[in-house]
């Protein structure tokens, strides 16, 4: 195992493609390679439109790795037919992740079914779905990465709202099968997040007699680390109002240090959904992302 | 002490005036009295515009009590001049509450100062302000009611985002000086809210040798209970998107039962900010509120 902790943080920077969604996949691969990035986070829809195998080859040929695939999930349907369809779709997502060579499939759990007020029940259906999918994914070298989303999405998008909840669910499974996504945009407001990041690190911080750290023995529950800043006012629908790094209220460096301390040594993805970035020149946006990353994260 | 617990829940229903903001204060007093309500929750701006003494008389003459005054707070400024101004404004709010005959002043803590990312520091300044104001308010018969607001307001409106945080702050002070507001709109998503409501109830649930319940000895930390439903999509700015009772995702009856179990016997205020209610006939809206309260809360 390479000691990636010694590499500069910049080498771990990955661009989630939705940050510069005006780029086609070839533009993305080319733009990221030219900027010296080593990784990209991809989304299923553009990958499927381009062709999964072709996308895998394109990215590989550009010298990039796929750091995560977004996204599976939407597990909360109570209706059996919908539930079977969701599980089938998630198996397809696992296969796409494997074909892209990423070990990380990001899961957005889903909101309340129409007319339901049963948050606890919906959360249990997420656990049931993880139990069905985790072994299937593990056989294909893919780890499920459960993402807690900001509580403002609890009704219509994700009933898993805090890192504590995500860990409660993930810990029912082996750490190498189910991890969590730490996204600063979703978690920054929570005064318990520092404690929960330490919990996610598990045995990390200790050093064994053979000189290995706990993190090398017991993998961190952190499967992905994503960055975006929190800016206001929020737009209608609250989906596309994320801020460029440094433009908002999130202490990004504090998060990065806590995630480091939890033993996470993987990619750091910048994932910003904001039409003001999409209307600009992609290369210019990526240059700004790198500059902001250096000022606010490293 | 009257055993209000034995009264039907409907007698505890109070209308927060922002729910039907198209009504003038005289229309509000008249409309609520005709509907058989016993209480109204008032806001400072319309009360001041009408005159505090005149408003107090108007409401009293209509046979209503003022169940709460919204709002003091905005305690997070780091600048000493702004801070002094905020404290002076809060002392004025305390006096207005006392003049209106309500013992409950709702506090919205305030967001991050411009450019700041220090949530923990801002939260400590809230505690400092409570320490200055609580004795002043108590001398005037007013209890400070600290309101946790949904985490989507953490940056620009209220750094106190969960009931646990609000209780952490309130518990630094005597229970009769500082309590918390339980508003379903802000808290519904939180899987720890049941536990925290029990914590807010303190000694409630026990019965002493003299037959009194713990709640009669140690007052519940719950100073106010407010209802609104959660509906999506959220509007731009996310301030005016609250739902009529029963239209959304909140299990209102579950909340009411937990708040009951925590020993709270006070008013139940309906506080819905939504332009679609403001464009309708006020009497019609109030009739709907009462109907929905009976179907979804009692």
Give the 3-state DSSP-derived string for B128-139, with helices as H, strands as E and coil as C. HHHHHHHHHHHH
Question: Which residues touch B212 (CB under 8 Å, ≥6 apart)?
Answer: none
Model pLDDT, residue B218: 62
Mean pLDDT value across residues A65-86: 96
- pLDDT band for position A218 (50/70/90)? low
Q: Are the C-beta atoms of residues B200 and B185 closer than 8 Å to each other?
A: no
Residue from the list A119, A155, A189 with its beta carbon closest to the beta carbon of B154? A189
From first CA to last CA, the distance across chain A in angstroms is: 23
Distance between alpha carbon B133 and the CA centroid of its chain, in Å?
18
Look at B234 and A230 and tell me if their CB atoms are within 8 Å. no
Which pLDDT tens digit goes with each residue over B7-55?
A: 589 999 999 999 999 999 999 999 999 999 999 999 999 999 999 999 9
> Does residue B114 belong to any structural domain of this protein?
yes
> Does residue A193 belong to any structural domain of this protein?
yes
**Number of CB pairs < 8 Å for A and B?**
97
Neighbours of B80 (CB within 10 A): 8
Model pLDDT, residue B202: 86
Query: How far, in Å, CA of A271 to CA of A18, rounded?
Result: 7
Number of domains comprising chain B: 1
List of chain A residues whose C-beta atoms are within 8 Å of the C-beta of residue B245: none
Question: Which residues touch B90 (CB under 8 Å, ≥6 apart)?
Answer: B72, B73, B75, B107, B129, B133
ipTM of the modeled complex:
0.93
Q: Are the C-beta atoms of residues A218 and A259 closer than 8 Å to each other?
A: no
Helix (H) or strand (E) holding B47: helix B44-50
* Least-confidence region, from A143-152, A243-252, B3-12, B134-143: B3-12
Query: How far, in Å, CA of A169 to CA of B152, rounded?
Result: 24
The residue among A114, A121, A152, A184 with the most chain B CBs within 10 A of its CB, best to mutate, is: A152
> Does residue B3 belong to any structural domain of this protein?
no
Look at B155 and A191 and tell me if their CB atoms are within 8 Å. no
Q: Is pLDDT above 50 for A208?
A: no
List of chain B residues whose C-beta atoms are within 8 Å of the C-beta of residue A237: 233-234
Look at B232 and A155 and tell me if their CB atoms are within 8 Å. yes
Nearest to B259 by CA among B189, B180, B206, B191: B180
Residue from the list A155, A165, A249 with its beta carbon closest to the beta carbon of B155? A249
> Does residue B2 belong to any structural domain of this protein?
no
List of chain B residues whose C-beta atoms are within 8 Å of the C-beta of residue A234: 152, 234, 236-238
| φ, ψ (nearest 5 deg) of residue A275 | -55, -25
> Does residue B4 belong to any structural domain of this protein?
no
Look at B249 and A154 and tell me if their CB atoms are within 8 Å. yes
Tell me if residue B67 falls in helix, strand or coil.
Answer: strand
Say if residue B171 is exposed, middle or buried (CB neighbours under 10 Å; 0-12, 13-18, 19+). middle
**Cα of B112 to nearest chain A Cα, Å:** 8
Look at A191 and B120 and tell me if their CB atoms are within 8 Å. yes
| φ, ψ (nearest 5 deg) of residue B41 | -100, 130
- What six digits make up the tokens of A223? 């499967």
Which pLDDT tens digit goes with each residue over B81-91?
A: 999 999 999 99
> Does residue B1 belong to any structural domain of this protein?
no
Mean per-residue pLDDT of chain B: 93
Pairing of strands B242-243, A222-227: unpaired
Query: How far, in Å, CA of A55 to CA of A238, rounded?
Result: 30
> Does residue A107 belong to any structural domain of this protein?
yes
DSSP structure string for A2-32: --GGGS-GGGGEEEEGGGGTTS-HHHHHHHH
Tell me if residue A53 falls in helix, strand or coil.
Answer: helix
> Which chain A residue is nearest to residue B162, measuring alpha carbons?
A190
Q: Is pLDDT above 80 for A203?
A: no
* Least-confidence region, from B84-98, B214-228, B264-278: B214-228
Question: Which residues touch A150 (CB under 8 Å, ≥6 apart)?
Answer: A161, A185, A186, A187, A189, B151, B152
Residue from the list A117, A151, A188 with its beta carbon closest to the beta carbon of B250? A117
Q: Are the C-beta atoms of residues A272 and A293 closer than 8 Å to each other?
A: no
Using a pLDDT cut of 70, give the percent of chain B over it: 92
- What six digits make up the tokens of B42? 């008032």
Look at A251 and B118 and tell me if their CB atoms are within 8 Å. yes
List of chain A residues whose C-beta atoms are within 8 Å of the C-beta of residue B188: 119, 154
Q: Are the C-beta atoms of residues B75 and B129 closer than 8 Å to each other?
A: yes
Look at A151 and B119 and tell me if their CB atoms are within 8 Å. no
Tell me if residue A200 falls in helix, strand or coil.
Answer: helix
**Cα of B111 to nearest chain A Cα, Å:** 10
Instruction: For chain A, state the CA radius of gyration.
Output: 18
Look at B152 and A238 and tell me if their CB atoms are within 8 Å. yes
Instruction: Enumerate chain B positions whose Cβ falls within 8 A of a Cβ in A.
Output: 112, 116-120, 123, 150-152, 154-156, 161-162, 165, 188-191, 230-238, 248-251, 254
The residue among A191, A196, A255 with the most chain B CBs within 10 A of its CB, best to mutate, is: A191
List of chain A residues whose C-beta atoms are within 8 Å of the C-beta of residue B151: 150-152, 189-190
Distances from the Cα of A13 to the Cα of A55, A193, A227, A278, A298, angstroms: 20, 22, 10, 20, 10
Please state the pTM of the whole predicted model: 0.93
Distances from the Cα of B245 to the Cα of B17, B229, B275, angstroms: 16, 5, 15
List of chain A residues whose C-beta atoms are within 8 Å of the C-beta of residue B165: 191
- pLDDT band for position A117 (50/70/90)? very high
Model pLDDT, residue A2: 41
Residue from the list A151, A238, A251 with its beta carbon closest to the beta carbon of B189? A151
Give the DSSP letter of residue B281. -
Distance between alpha carbon B288 and the CA centroid of its chain, in Å?
21
- What six digits make up the tokens of A219? 């993998």
| φ, ψ (nearest 5 deg) of residue A296 | -115, -15
The residue among B109, B112, B113, B117 with the most chain A CBs within 10 A of its CB, best to mutate, is: B117
- What six digits make up the tokens of B24? 């003038």
Model pLDDT, residue A202: 86
> Does residue A285 belong to any structural domain of this protein?
yes
Range of the domain at B288: 9-206+213-296
Tell me if residue A93 falls in helix, strand or coil.
Answer: helix
B196: domain CATH number? 3.20.20.150
Which pLDDT tens digit goes with each residue over B118-133?
A: 999 999 999 999 999 9
List of chain A residues whose C-beta atoms are within 8 Å of the C-beta of residue B155: 189, 230-232, 248-249
- Backbone angle region of B214, left / alpha / beta, with phi > 0 → left and psi within -120 to 50 → alpha: alpha
Model pLDDT, residue A6: 36
């Amino acid at each position: 195992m390479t000691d990636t902790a010694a590499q500069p943080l910049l080498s771990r920077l990955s661009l989630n493609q939705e940050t510069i969604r005006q780029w086609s996949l070839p533009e993305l691969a080319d733009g990221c390679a030219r900027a010296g990035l080593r990784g990209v986070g991809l989304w299923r829809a553009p990958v499927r439109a381009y062709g999964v195998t072709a996308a895998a080859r394109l990215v590989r040929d550009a010298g990039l790795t796929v750091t995560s695939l977004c996204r599976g999930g939407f597990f909360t349907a109570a209706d059996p037919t919908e539930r079977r369809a969701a599980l089938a779709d998630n198996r397809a997502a696992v296969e796409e992740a494997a074909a892209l060579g990423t070990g990380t499939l990001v899961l957005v759990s889903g909101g309340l079914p129409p007319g339901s007020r049963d948050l606890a029940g919906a959360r249990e259906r997420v656990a049931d779905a993880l139990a069905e999918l985790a072994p299937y994914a593990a056989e294909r070298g893919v780890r499920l990465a459960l993402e807690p989303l900001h509580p403002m999405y609890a009704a219509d998008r994700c009933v898993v709202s805090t890192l504590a909840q995500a860990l409660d669910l993930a810990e029912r499974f082996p750490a190498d099968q189910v991890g969590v996504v730490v996204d600063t945009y979703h978690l920054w407001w929570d005064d318990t997040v520092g404690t929960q990041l330490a919990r996610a690190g598990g045995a990390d911080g200790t050093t064994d007699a053979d000189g290995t750290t706990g993190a090398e023995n017991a993998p961190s529950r952190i499967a992905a680390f994503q960055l975006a800043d929190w800016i206001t006012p929020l737009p209608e629908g609250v989906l596309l109002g994320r801020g460029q790094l440094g433009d908002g209220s999130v202490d990004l460096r504090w998060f990065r240090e806590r995630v480091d301390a939890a033993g996470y040594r993987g990619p750091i993805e910048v994932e910003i959904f904001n039409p003001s970035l999409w209307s600009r020149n992609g290369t210019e946006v990526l240059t700004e992302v790198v500059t902001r990353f250096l000022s606010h994260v490293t």
